[in-house]
Structure 1
Amino acid sequence: MLPRLLLPVFALAVLATGLAPPSAAAAEFPRAPVQAAIAMHGEPAARPDAAHRRYVNPDAPKGGRIVLGVQGTFDTLNPFVVRGLPVPGARQYLHETLLARSYDEPFTLYPQIAAGLEVPDDRSWIIFHVDPRARFSDGRPVTAADIRFSFELLRERGRPNHRSYYRKVRQVDLIDVQTIRFDLAGANDRELPLILGLMPVLPQHATDPATFEDTTLQPLVGSGPYTVGEVRAGESLSLRRNPNWWGRDLTINRGLFNFDEIRFEFYRDGNTLFEAFKKGLVDSRVETDPGRWTSGYDFPAMREGRILRETLRPGTPKGIRGLTMNTRRPVFQDVRVREAMGLLFDFEWANHALYAGGFERSQSLFEGSELSARGRPADAAERRLLAQSGARVRDDILDGTYQVPVSDGSGSDRTRLRQAIALFAAAGWHLEGGAMRLAATGQPFTFEFLVATRDQERLALTYQRFLQRAGIRMAVRNVDAVQYDRRLREYDFDMVDYRWWNTSLSPGNEQAFYWGVAAGRSPGSRNLPGIADPAVDRLVAAIVEARRREDLVMAARALDRVVTSGFYWVPLFHQPAQWIARWNHIAMPAESSVFGYLVETWWRRDAGGADRQ
C-alpha cells in the first residue's frame, strides 16, 4: 500500500489521467482509498512510480530479433483453455493482466491495465480502475465491460484453475465505463484479490465465446507489447513489436520487451535443438542436463567467446519433480506400494551415470526455502493445524527426521531391495518365480510408463532395470507430444515423469489446482497423482486465508508433510542453479531477479548498448 500521505496525490493523478468519477451507482457500494499496488502479506516493497526495477537495464536499447528454441510442438494460439498445445512463454508478450507482478517480491502486484484499485482490510471486495490509456492491439479501448467479459468467459470456458478461482466470486458490478467491482464475500480467500489482479483481459468485441475452447491458429486480440506475425503450424511462431503499444511508457515496463521480434523455433528432439544452438540458429539455451553443461560446450564458438554461459541462483523454492504414480489405477492405491516404488529407484547411481552427478535430490514441495518441512519438526501450532485438518502424517515426517533413503550407488543396493520387498509383502504382494504377484489372485505387478522425449525415455529405461530386480514389469510407451498432452489431461496413464508444479515464495490457490480433491476429478488439472485427501483442501484453505507471513509458512509446511506422507511419486531431482547459455549478441542485466532469468529483460547488443549493464 502507498504511504498515507501519497494516497490523495495518487488519487488526484488517477483522476487527472481521465478516470471518470464514481457514478451514482457507486454510492451503493462501500469504498476504500485508491491505491496503486497490493501485496499478499505486508506492504509493497517499492513505490509504483519507482524509476525501474533492480533486475532490468532501464536504458536497454530496443531493436533486433531473438530466436528461442523449444522442444516439442504447438497447435493452438489460445493459451487460456485446456484443449491443444500452446506456445510456451508466448502469452506474456501478447496478453496483459490487470496488474503486473514484481519479480523481487514473493507476491506483489503493480499497475498495468488497472491504474489503481480499492480493497478493504478484510479483502471481501476489490474495485479496479482501468487506465484510460489502455488499448487493445486493434486500437479499441479496454473497458470495465471487457474485464467482466473476460472474467465470465474464463470462469465458464477457461482452464480448470481459472474456473476454480473465479467461481469464488459472489458478484461482479460495473460502476462505470472504467471501474469494476468484484464482491468476494464468503470466499475467505485473501489471495483472491491478487488472483483477479492477474486476470488476462480479452476484448469482448473480438472474442467469440462459442469457439473459444477450440484449438486455433487464429491469434486472439491482446493488449500486450507484441502481436502475432508469421505462424508455421507446429514449427515456428514470430511475434512482432506493436509500435502503438499503449503501455510502453508505464514504469513497470521500463527496461522490458526490448526486441523488435521474438521468434519461437520448435524442435522435436533435444539433441537437434542443442545442435541448432551450436550453429547459431537459436540465440539462447536454458540447459537442463548437468552432464552436457559440464562437458558438452567444448566447441569452437564457445572457445572463441562467441557464446557466453551464466549460472544463476534464484531465491525461489526448487519445487518437486517425480516419477508420478496415478492413484486412480488400482496398482498404485496402496501407500506402501508407492513407498516401495521409491525405494527401488537408485538416485545416487542414476545421478552419477546419467547426469554427471550434477543434480540434487528433491524431497519437498518447497525444496530449499523456509516453506519446506524437510528437516524441521512441527511445532505445537502446526500440530494443532494438522489435527484440525484431520491430516495423517507419519511420525518421522512430523518430527522432521525423515529423509529419502540413500543407496550405496551401485545400482543394485540389496538393503533397499529387501526394504521394498517387505513393503510389497505388507500390501499383499509377494515375489514368486522372479515375478511380483498379488498374493490373493496371482496377478503380476505390471504397468506402463508414458514418455514423449528421449530424455524421459532414458530415465524410464533406467528405472525399468531397477524394477526388474523386484520382479516388476514396466512397459515404456513413447508417444508424440500431442498424444502425451491429451493423455495427461485425461489422466490416461500409469506413471509419468512430471515437473510442472511451479512454486513461489507465496504459495496460494494454485496448490488446490495441484493437489486438491476437485482438481483431481477435473480434466486438465495438475493433480496428476489423483490426490483425494480432504485434509489437503483444508490446509490449502489455511494457506490462502493466512493474514500473516508466519501463518502462511506454517500452513505450507503442514501441507508439505501431508503430501510427502502420501508417497505419490518417486522423488527425482532438481538443478542447483539455472544454467543459461547465449550467443554474445544477446545481453542480460547485471542482476537477476529473485525468480532468476527473465527473457523479457534481455536485449540485443548490436541494437546498441553493452553487455551485462
Structure 2
Amino acid sequence: MRAGEIANPSRRAALAGMLGLLGLHFSGRALGQETIARHGIAMHGEPALPPHFTHLPYADPAAPKGGRLTIGVVGSFDSLNPYIVRGQSAGEVQTYVFEPLLIRSLDEPFTLYGHVAQSVEMPDDRSSITFTLNPAARFSDGVAISAETVAFSLDILKRLGWPNLRNYYSKVERVEILGPRRVRLSFPAAQDRELPLILSLLPMLPQHRLDDTRFDQTTLEAPVGSGPYIVGDVDVGKSVVYSKNPDWWARDLPFTKGLHNFSEIKIEYFRDDNTMFEALKKGIIDLRPEDNPTRWQTGYDFPAAREGRVIRESFTSGLPKPMFALAFNQRRDVFARREVRQALTALFDFEWINANLFSNTYRRTHSYFEGSELSAIGVSASAGEKRLLEPFMDKMPAAVLGGTWRAPVSDGSGFDRTRVREALDLLAGAGYLPKDGKLRDRQGQALTFEAMVNLHEHERLLLAWRRVLDRVGIDLRIRVIDSAQFERRRQNYDYDMIPWAWGASLSPGNEQAFRWGSKVADQPGSFNLAGVKDPAVDQMVLALLAARQREDFVDAARALDRALIAGAYVLPLYHLPERRIAHASSLGHPQKTALFGPTFESWWRKPASP
C-alpha cells in the first residue's frame, strides 16, 4: 500500500488519527460567523459572472474539437513533478494534468469560480474557507476526489512542496473534515485576506498514487491528475505529449466550454530561441510568442509566411507590463551598496540600445506595475501611502515620493557624459575611484561582476551595455550557460547578476513576498533573486494582504512600488506595448481576448476544408 492510501473499512478513522497528529481535525460544527455557499469568490468586490453562467466570455462554446497543437519551449526537463524544488520539471504538467479546487477567470483581476469544489463558504473576516466538492470530480483513473484528498494535498505540499507553497499552506492552523465532500480550512491568525483565494488554488493530488516519503524526489513516472489531459509519450528533455482524457469529469461544465479543444498537445523543447524559430519556419511547431522586435519586422520573410501558412497577430492585455530587469544579487558584496546599483543603472543607455538593437520598438519600464493604476509613476503619494511609508521616509527619495522619478534617460549617443558623471559621483560616494584605468575601492579591488544568461538575445544586450562600462573602468563578465544549469544556479542564487521577468497582475498579493520578502531571501528556490531584505517592502506587502477596500489596496500597491524603486534592487529594462504571436494559420481563436491576454487553452484547430 502506498503512503497516503487508507484501507477500508476503517479508512476514515485511520485518516482521522493521522490528521490528529498533524493538528487536523474532523468537525461538523461551524465557526462563529454565518456563511453562505457561493459559486465564486473575488479578492475585491463580487465575481463578474452570475451563478448560472453558460461559458467564459473569452471562450467560444462552439469551438471545433480535435487535432494536435505543438508548442515550443526553450529549455529542458528531467522530472514530471512540478511541485518540488529538485530537478527541472515539465511545467505544463501543472496546467494540463492537475486541477485546483477553484479555477481563476482570466478576465477579472483575481476571481475564482467553482470547479473541483462546486461551492465555497467564507466569513467576512476571511479567517476560514469551506469547500463543498463536486460529486462528479475524480482523477483520470476513476477514483473520486474527497475531503480527504484536500487534506492530503495540503499536508504533502506544506511539508515537501515548493518554498512558496510551504509558506502559504503553513498558515493553515486547522483542517476540519465536515463530511465526505466538505472540508474547512481555518487560519484565524493569518491576517491575510488573499489567503482563502490562494488556498482555493490548491492542486488536487492523488493520495492513492503517491508515496509521500519520495514525493520530493524527481520522477518521470506519468502523474495521475483530474485535469483535461493525461501524459502520453515522453522523450526526456526533448518533448512531452499530453492526450485529452475522453472521460474527463469536467468536460461539460460551463467553465470548461470552449476550452481544452485539442485532442493532443505536444510540448517541444529547444536549446535556444533561434532553434525554436527555425522549427516554426519548418512547421515543426504551431506557434511561438515573438519577443524580438527586429525579427518581428524583418524575420518573417520565409516560404510558410509568404504563402500564408504562418501569420502574425498582435494582442493587447489589460495587465500591468512585466518587470523585465537585471537583478542585482545583494548577497554579493559588489552590489551591497545602493549607490553602486544606482550608478550601474545610470550607465545603461536604453535610448541607444533601443535604437540600434531594437529599431525603437521597446518602451522603458519604470514601475513594478507599469501601465496600471497600481503604478506610482506620475502620481504623488496619497495621504494613505504616506501613513504606510512614514517609518521609512528617510530612505524615500523626494522624486520617488512625488511620482516624478523615472529610469535614467540618456541622449542616445551611446556615451552620455552627463549620465556618466552622475554615475561616477555615485560610485565615488561608495568608495570607487579611478586608478590604473579601473574603478577601484579603497583596498584596490577593481569593480567587477559577472552576468549569467541562458539566451543569446540577453548576451547581445549585455555586450551593448559593456561598451559603456569598459570606458569608465568597470569589468563586466558575461557567462552564457544552458537552461538546466541556469535554473540550478538561479534556485541557489549562484550568480552576481541575472536577467528575469516578473509578471504582474491587477491583484498583487502573497507572490510579492516570495519575490521581495526578507523571509525568503535566503531560502533556495524563491524568486527573491535580488536578495531584498527591506522592512519597508515587507510592511507594504502586509498592507496589501490586509486591505479590505480598493482604495487601501491601491495605496498599498503604490507604496510597495515606491519602496522597491527607492531600493534600486533591479536595473529595469523594457517591455513591448503589445503581445506578439506568430502561429499557423490553421489555428483559430475567439474574437474576444481575455484581460490577461491571449489564452491558448481557448484556441482550436480549424477543420480541414472539404
Q: Matches of residues 292-371 of structure 1 in structure 2 within 5 Å?
A: 292-371=295-374
In the alignment, is the contact (CA less than 8 A) between 2:26 and 2:176 conserved in 1? no
- Partner residue, 2:5: none
Is 1:450 the counterpart of 2:452 in the alignment? Answer: yes
- Partner residue, 2:588: 587
- Give distance in 2, aligned partners of 1:516 and 1:24: 34
2:403 corresponds to which of 382, 396, 400: 400
- Partner residue, 2:8: none
Q: In structure 1, what residue type is equivalent to 2:593?
A: S
In the alignment, is the contact (CA less than 8 A) between 1:78 and 1:215 conserved in 2? yes
- Give distance in 2, aligned partners of 1:193 and 1:607: 45
Secondary structure of 1:513's partner? helix
Q: Matches of residues 377-416 of structure 1 in structure 2 within 5 Å?
A: 377-388=380-391, 392-416=395-419
- Give distance in 2, aligned partners of 1:390 and 1:426: 21
Q: Deviations over 1:385-423 (max 9, x none)?
A: 111567731111001111111111121111111111110
Secondary structure of 2:544's partner? helix
Secondary structure of 1:264's partner? strand
- Partner residue, 1:217: 220
Secondary structure of 1:206's partner? coil
- Give distance in 2, aligned partners of 1:176 and 1:591: 41
Secondary structure of 1:273's partner? helix
Kindly tell me the number of residue pairs found equivalent between the two proteins: 585
- Give distance in 1, aligned partners of 2:372 and 2:559: 14
2:489 corresponds to which of 487, 490, 501: 487
- Partner residue, 1:505: 506
Is 1:168 the counterpart of 2:168 in the alignment? Answer: no
Q: Matches of residues 123-138 of structure 1 in structure 2 within 5 Å?
A: 123-138=126-141
- Give distance in 1, aligned partners of 2:30 and 2:550: 34
- Partner residue, 2:544: 543
In the alignment, is the contact (CA less than 8 A) between 1:450 and 1:494 conserved in 2? yes
Distance 1:145 1:608, change over 3 A: farther
Q: In structure 2, what residue type is equivalent to 1:567?
A: A
- Give distance in 2, aligned partners of 1:29 and 1:546: 23
1:205 corresponds to which of 200, 204, 208: 208
Q: In structure 2, what residue type is equivalent to 1:497?
A: P
Q: In structure 2, what residue type is equivalent to 1:196?
A: L
In the alignment, is the contact (CA less than 8 A) between 2:384 and 2:552 conserved in 1? no
Is 1:429 the counterpart of 2:432 in the alignment? Answer: yes
Secondary structure of 1:115's partner? strand
Deviation at 1:331, TM superposition (A): 0.7
- Give distance in 1, aligned partners of 2:336 and 2:392: 22
- Give distance in 1, aligned partners of 2:69 and 2:504: 27
Q: Deviations over 1:32-81 (max 9, x none)?
A: 21111101111111114211122111100110001001111111111111
Is 1:467 the counterpart of 2:459 in the alignment? Answer: no
Q: Deviations over 1:555-607 (max 9, x none)?
A: 00000000000111111001110001111111111111000010100000026
Deviation at 1:298, TM superposition (A): 1.8
- Give distance in 2, aligned partners of 1:315 and 1:118: 29
Is 1:281 the counterpart of 2:319 in the alignment? Answer: no
In the alignment, is the contact (CA less than 8 A) between 1:308 and 1:581 conserved in 2? yes
- Give distance in 1, aligned partners of 2:379 and 2:608: 50
Deviation at 1:301, TM superposition (A): 1.9
TM-score, normalization by structure 1: 0.93
- Partner residue, 2:570: 569
Is 1:154 the counterpart of 2:157 in the alignment? Answer: yes
Q: Deviations over 1:332-375 (max 9, x none)?
A: 01000000000111111111222221111111110000000011
In the alignment, is the contact (CA less than 8 A) between 1:389 and 1:538 conserved in 2? no
In the alignment, is the contact (CA less than 8 A) between 1:54 and 1:591 conserved in 2? yes
In the alignment, is the contact (CA less than 8 A) between 1:48 and 1:251 conserved in 2? no
Distance 1:481 1:391, change over 3 A: farther
Distance 1:179 1:391, change over 3 A: farther
In the alignment, is the contact (CA less than 8 A) between 2:271 and 2:482 conserved in 1? no
TM-score, normalization by structure 2: 0.94
Secondary structure of 2:469's partner? helix
Q: Deviations over 1:468-522 (max 9, x none)?
A: 11101111112221111111101110001111x2211001110000100011121
Q: Matches of residues 229-240 of structure 1 in structure 2 within 5 Å?
A: 229-240=232-243
Deviation at 1:28, TM superposition (A): 5.4
Secondary structure of 2:478's partner? strand
Is 1:86 the counterpart of 2:89 in the alignment? Answer: yes
Deviation at 1:27, TM superposition (A): 2.8
- Partner residue, 2:191: 188
Is 1:112 the counterpart of 2:76 in the alignment? Answer: no
- Give distance in 2, aligned partners of 1:391 and 1:435: 33
Distance 1:420 1:390, change over 3 A: closer
Deviation at 1:219, TM superposition (A): 2.2
- Partner residue, 1:517: 518
- Partner residue, 1:56: 59
Secondary structure of 1:469's partner? helix
Q: In structure 2, what residue type is equivalent to 1:458?
A: R
In the alignment, is the contact (CA less than 8 A) between 1:36 and 1:115 conserved in 2? yes
Structure 1 unaligned blocks of 5 or more: 1-22
Distance 1:106 1:266, change over 3 A: same
- Give distance in 2, aligned partners of 1:498 and 1:318: 13
Q: In structure 2, what residue type is equivalent to 1:137?
A: S
In the alignment, is the contact (CA less than 8 A) between 1:322 and 1:569 conserved in 2? yes
- Give distance in 2, aligned partners of 1:606 and 1:145: 43
Greater than 4 Å deviation, 4+ residue runs = 388-391
Q: In structure 1, what residue type is equivalent to 2:49?
A: A
What is the RMSD of the two structures over their aligned residues, measured on CA atoms? 1.5
1:141 corresponds to which of 130, 144, 147: 144
Deviation at 1:263, TM superposition (A): 0.1
Q: Matches of residues 60-75 of structure 1 in structure 2 within 5 Å?
A: 60-75=63-78
Secondary structure of 1:204's partner? coil
- Give distance in 2, aligned partners of 1:608 and 1:430: 71
- Give distance in 2, aligned partners of 1:391 and 1:89: 45
Deviation at 1:158, TM superposition (A): 0.7
- Give distance in 1, aligned partners of 2:297 and 2:394: 43
- Give distance in 1, aligned partners of 2:530 and 2:604: 40
Deviation at 1:206, TM superposition (A): 0.6
Q: In structure 2, what residue type is equivalent to 1:101?
A: R
In the alignment, is the contact (CA less than 8 A) between 1:390 and 1:535 conserved in 2? no
- Partner residue, 1:18: none
- Give distance in 1, aligned partners of 2:608 and 2:519: 50
Deviation at 1:429, TM superposition (A): 0.6
246-255 vs 208-217, which moves further: 208-217
Q: Deviations over 1:263-301 (max 9, x none)?
A: 001111211111110111110111010111111112222
Secondary structure of 2:103's partner? strand
- Partner residue, 1:11: none
- Partner residue, 2:261: 258
